[in-house]
Structure formats: structure tokens, C-alpha cells
Chains A and B, each alone.
Chain A
Amino acid sequence: MSEQPQLLYQNRYVEGIAGIDKWIEHGGYDAFRKALTMTPEAIIDEIKVSGLRGRGGAGFPTHIKWSAVPKNFDQPHYLVINADEGEPGTAKDRDLMNGIPHLLVEGCLATMVAIRASKCYIYIRGEYVQPWQSVQRAINEAYAKGFCGKNVLGSGLDLDIYTHLGAGSYECGEESALMSSLMGERGMPRLKAPSAPLPMISGVWQKPTVVNNVETVSTVVPILNRGGAEYTKIGYGSPRSRGTKLFSISGHVNKPGVYEIVLGTPFSEVLEIAGGVRTGHTLKTYIPGGSSMGFAPPTPLDYPFDYEGIPASTQTLGLGSGGLIVMDETTSIVPIVKRLVDFYHHESCGKCTPCREGLNWLSKIYQRIEDGAGREQDIDLIWDICDNIQGKSFCALGEGAIWPVMTSLRLFREEYLSYIRTGKDLAMA
């Protein structure tokens, strides 16, 4: 098995690590102190060298976002942390915030120095009351120790961090919807570049804003501690996928859980880390990184699990948020896909027609199939509707909604047919 150095989760299971004293005892806030001795440019450079990519789903290079922020202090800059974690199958940010909240707070502070922000809002999904309490407690401790507040550690910088509780909307995880929601509006997405300015130029309250995922800014801590160049030495796959990433592995494995795994680790080993497919069962399919990524076939399994490594032949959209869902041969696919269709339909914000209407139709057709009134032509109809959403929806929710549908149709057409004909599926037959 490949070695799995733990950079984020090194001290995850140390007793009392959620408290600031224990955190500092284990080297906590060293990265932030280091950041205070560096210029913003030097920090961004270090992140550039490290090759860090956004851990929220899109894998966008973090340094590019950061360097687009204006290099002056004559207006407020904001850091907004995306802790809305709602992608089905994804449970990593919650585990991090519950267990090691100071990693997030320290990462926020270092990032604020790099992008010259004086205020940071951590947007936490409404269901995450416990993680919110954990993070707020950590912030309060950081204030008490002088890591937050006015003239932090004599640096001349004022750094404030606030938590902001969402109220139950998957769409608010989408970056522009999240900013709307933070400003007290409905969580609907906005026009993006090039039709509108980048958030780094005009984001929340028309001020320069960086939106990053919880894990992304947390990863800044080990990068600053080790140096970007050292960080790039970790990784078993593509030169563009360096370091480690958190994966929440759920479904039919022996040891489901949140694991920090080196990018590029062979996928078969990733399964082993989670204890392997349920004993006595065989892999049927899996979703590599949150439901929007779609279903992958049970072979091949020996590829490097990273941003570039997932074979195009799987037809999935990739690593996504790191929510790996494993399904064995006992799983009925049609009801699972129906559940996802209903989820996306429920979460569609209603702004654009293809997503709003298309998902409504899909939801009705799947219901009909489940009720035993499905027709074989429904399969083509489903495909058609997906075709009409693909590339035509205003934000990525629409795209993410149809991907599990289309990939499941490609892989399990026979199962759909049998389900429609007999009201049962192959797995149950």
C-alpha cells in the first residue's frame, strides 16, 4: 500500500485538539505567524508553487483566484468561506469543522493576509449547528489569544472572522448564489465572467471577494508550514494534482469514514483504505466525488485517483468534492437515480427554464416508472430531457443533476428496461 502522510488530519484524533491550547501545543498558528512575516505576494507564490487547487468541487487553481484581487488596501476585501457542504455523499468539511476547527480558522487568517482581507465570513449550512458551534468557539478562542481582532500580533492588520448560518438550500453552495445569500437575498446565482466582473474584483457588496472551500484554506496551513516545493513532492499521480485531499467514503464499504488520502493513490487502494467493498459482495458501481459526478463502471480500478487520473472511459465528471459513494451488487439503480432527480428538482432555484422545467419532467417520469406505469420509450424521453438541460442551464446545478441520470442510463440500460417491464430491477430479481 502507498504511504499516506497526514497533513490536515495529522492531529485530528488528538484528545482536546479542538481547543486552542492543544492546537498551539501541536504547532498550531505557526503557519499564520509565518504568513505575517511574508508579503501577500510571497504567500501567493508559495501557494502557486504548491499547485493547490480548490477542494470545493471544481479544482480551480487557488493562486489564480488570489492573485486577481487588487493589490491595495484602499477598499475592504472579503474572504468568504464556503461551508455549505450539500453535495450528496460529501461529509468532509463537517468532520474537519467538528474535529479540528482551528485548522480552518488558521487557514482563514493566513488567506486573509494573502488577499489583503480584513473580514472573513464563514458561510455554514443551516443544518451544521454542531460544526458552527465548534468553529465559533475556535474563533472566540482565537480572539482571546490575539490572533483575531485589531492590530493582530502587532502586525498592524485588523482581522475579523464571522460565522454566518445558511438555512437549507443546496444551491447556496454555488459561489455566486452563496454571495447573494450572504448579502441577505435569495440564494440565486448571478451572471458570471465574462458577462459580469469576477468576484475577485466585485463580489460581496461590490468589493473584491475570494470564495474558497473550507478544505482549500485549511490546506494552506500545511503548505505554509512545509513550503510549497515540499508540498509538491506529495502525490502519486499527475503533476497537476499534488498533495492530499479529504474523501468521505460512504456506502457499501467495510469502514466508511472521512480519510485524508494522497492524490494519485490507485483507486483500488482508496477502496482498501475504507476497508474494501462489503465482505462477501462485489462492486457494482460508484460515484467518485459527490452525486453530480455521475456513476462509474466497476472497472478499471487501478488508475491514479486524482483530478486528471479518472479515466475518460468512466464518463464521470471527476473528483468533485471528494464524496465517494460505493455501491455493491445489491443496489437497485433506478430508485437511487430517482432519489437524486427528486433532490435536484427540490433544490433547483427556479431561475432558468431548462433546469426548473426539465427536472420537473424527469421527476414525474421517474415517479411513473416507480409506480409501475413506465414505458420503454421513457428511457429515450429521459435522455432527451437531459439533452435539453445539458449546456443550457444557467448554473452548474442543472449540469450536475443530469449527469447521474445520463451515466446511469449508459451503464444500466438493461436494468432500467427490466425495472420498467417487471416493476423490479435486476438486483432484486
Chain B
Amino acid sequence: MLKFDATVKARLDELISRYPNKKAALLPALWVAQEVYGGWLPEAAMQEVADHLEVSRAEVEGVATFYTMYNKEPVGRHHIEICHNVSCMMFGADQLIEHCGHALGIAKGETTPDGVFTLNGAECLGACCNAPAVQIGGTYYEDVTKARMDQIIESLKGDSPSDVIVPPQSKMPEQGRF
């Protein structure tokens, strides 16, 4: 079933208007598609992007698979990514990942059976001065201890809203409106 309705298409058109050609809107369009499709990019999503941007399906797939933040399979409602690069590693990132895995009953790269949490390692998140750093959807958590991690997980259980990343939506004011 196609999911790009008029509102989504209008958003895509606004994105396209920022660039000299449609193809350049591919990355932002994939972000929109991932949001609309619930946090990942099934084939249908890529097809819809290809159709709207008038580029080939192969091209869309080639790009989507190059970038790690486009999920090629479903992820949990909350995608917990713990930075395991050097500065965070020095402050117990690996132990934090292990702890988190125990708490959730899953290993790195897995999703809980109820589809709420996915756990992954991440490369340097640019929060090295507050290590270890954790990204969940678009939100950063810094200086994360095991106890803090437990609290965060607790707060995200139940029916907390999904935190799939909502991509660029600028509202450029019309000239003369202000």
C-alpha cells in the first residue's frame, strides 16, 4: 500500500525546491520516507521515493544502502545507539552496552520481541567530552551511567511515543511576510 499522501508529497516538493534538481533531494526524501514508514525503508518506500524524484529504483537503493542511518530492516520504536568509540570506550561504553543488553534481554544488533527496543553500538557521536554518550532517535543522553541507562529504559517502556527521527522541515517565510 502506498503511503505517500498529498501532505507527504507536499513536504517532498518543498525539499525538492531547495535544490537545482530533483535528485539532490534524495537524502532528505529518504529521511521523510523512513519517518513515514515507521523507522525503516522497505522496498515500497524506496519505490515511492524513486517515483516522486524521477530517479531509478536502483539508484535509490544504491544510495540508501550506503548510509548507515537508513534502516534496511525494521527497528524498535526506540533505537538505542551507544557510542563505542575511543573517548566513550575509556569511560565504560562496552560495559554499558553489555549492561543494556542484559536489561533488555537482547544482544547488540537485536530488537526486543515486543518491537520496542533495538540496541546497537555507534561510532563517535561528537559528544566525547561527556562520555559515554547514547543516542536514542534524535535525542542524545550524555555522561550515561548504568543506573541512568536503567532509568532511561524504564521511561521509554509502556506506550511512550516512537522517537523515529523527523527530518528537515524548514518553513521558509515568504518574502515580505515579516
Which residues on A are within 8 Å of B, measured CB to CB?
76, 85-91, 93-94, 125-130, 132, 136, 139-140, 143-146, 149-150, 160, 162-170, 181-187, 205, 248-252, 256-258, 287, 291, 323, 325, 327, 331, 335-336, 339-340, 343, 346-347, 349
Contacts and interface: CB of A to CB of B under 8 A. Distances in A.
Contacts of B68: 167-169
B71 to A, nearest CB: 10
Given A87-B124, A91-B129, A164-B27, A187 B90 contact: no
Interface string B148-165: 000000000000000001
A160 B175 CA distance: 12
Contact of A89 (B31, B86, B122, B170): B86
B24 interface: yes
Given A139-B170, A336-B89, A167 B128 contact: no
Given A323-B128, A325-B128, A184 B135 contact: no
B18 A162 contact: yes
B85 A250 contact: no
A327 B91 CA distance: 11
Given A163-B168, A168-B68, A184 B63 contact: yes
A287 B86 CA distance: 11
Contacts of A335: 89
B86 A325 contact: yes
Top-10 shortest CB links A-B: A129-B138, A184-B26, A168-B69, A167-B67, A250-B128, A168-B68, A88-B124, A186-B66, A256-B129, A250-B87
11 contacts: A88-B128, A89-B85, A136-B168, A143-B172, A143-B173, A143-B178, A164-B168, A165-B168, A166-B69, A184-B25, A346-B123
B126 A130 contact: no
A184 to B, nearest CB: 3
A88 B87 contact: yes
B131 interface: yes
Contact of B167 (A93, A165, A182, A248): A165
Contacts of B135: 127
Nearest to A139: B170
A127 B27 CA distance: 14
- Secondary structure at the A interface, as helix, strand, loop or mixed, is mixed
B171 interface: yes
Contacts of B178: 143-146
A425 to B, nearest CB: 14
Interface residues of B, number: 50
B113 interface: no
Contacts of B66: 169, 186-187, 349
A256 B130 contact: yes
Given A143-B172, A168-B68, A336 B86 contact: yes
Given A140-B171, A163-B168, A340-B85, 18 more contacts: A87-B124, A91-B127, A91-B129, A129-B138, A139-B170, A146-B178, A163-B170, A164-B168, A167-B31, A167-B70, A168-B67, A169-B68, A184-B24, A248-B128, A250-B129, A287-B86, A325-B86, A339-B85
B63 A185 contact: yes
Contact of A184 (B27, B31, B125): B27
Contacts, number: 159
B126 A90 contact: yes
B139 interface: yes
Contacts of B70: 167-168
Given A90-B126, A149-B175, A165 B28 contact: yes
Interface of B: 18, 20-21, 23-28, 30-31, 53, 55, 62-63, 66-70, 84-87, 89-90, 122-131, 135, 137-140, 165, 167-168, 170-173, 175, 178
Given A88-B87, A331-B90, A183 B24 contact: yes
Contact of B30 (A140, A162, A167): A167
Contacts of A249: 129
A88 B85 contact: yes
B90 A327 contact: yes
Contacts of A248: 128-129
Contact of B170 (A129, A162, A257): A162
A291 B86 contact: yes
Contacts of B170: 136, 139-140, 162-163
A251 B87 contact: yes
Contacts of B129: 91, 248-250, 256-258
A88 B173 contact: no
A238 B89 CA distance: 35
B33 to A, nearest CB: 12
Contacts of B127: 91, 94
B123 A86 contact: yes
Contacts of A185: 26, 63
B151 to A, nearest CB: 20
Contacts of B140: 130
Contacts of A90: 124, 126, 128
Contacts of A343: 85, 123-124
A167 B29 CA distance: 11
B68 to A, nearest CB: 4
Given A162-B18, A249-B129, A250-B87, A167 B27 contact: yes
Contacts of A252: 90
B87 A132 contact: no
A356 to B, nearest CB: 14
Contact of B20 (A128, A144, A205): A205
B62 A186 contact: yes
Nearest to A343: B123
